Amino acid sequence: MALIITDDCINCDVCEPECPNEAIYLGEHIYEINPDKCTECVGHFDEPQCVQLCPVACIPVDPQRVETREQLMQKYERLQQEALGNNS
């Protein structure tokens, strides 16, 4: 499952630099998460870093992007391969 940032976001800038997949970015009004890059930190950490650090608890699971832990790991591995390809 990818995570989403709700309208409760206060743009505190805490989540964006902590995302290991660079999935979080500043949208038009609030921070947003690219679901194609969000692995809920699978492959990096035991818990999603953005969720742990968010002071207003505005980062729930996106019910429109249900993924298993195995699917998240596959996404992590794909992102790692893409990163290696870009560094070559």
The per-residue pLDDT for range 4-31, each reduced to its tens digit, is 999 999 999 999 999 999 999 999 999 9
| Claim: this prediction has a pTM higher than 0.95 | no
Helix residue spans in the chain (DSSP H): 49-53, 69-87
Q: Is residue 49 part of a domain?
A: yes
**11 within a domain of the structure (yes/no):** no
Assess if residue 4 is contained within a domain. no
Q: Is residue 2 part of a domain?
A: no
The pair of structure tokens assigned to 53 is 């650090």
- A 10 A CB-CB count for 15 gives 25
Total number of domains constituting the chain: 1
Q: Which residues, 6 or more positions from 23, have their beta carbon under 8 angstroms from its beta carbon?
A: 2, 33, 34, 35, 36, 37, 38, 39
Establish if 26 belongs to a structural domain.
yes
Q: Is 1's pLDDT higher than 80?
A: no
Residue 35 is part of a domain; what is its CATH number? 3.30.70.20
Note down the domain range covering 40.
Answer: 16-87
pLDDT greater than 90 at residue 87: no
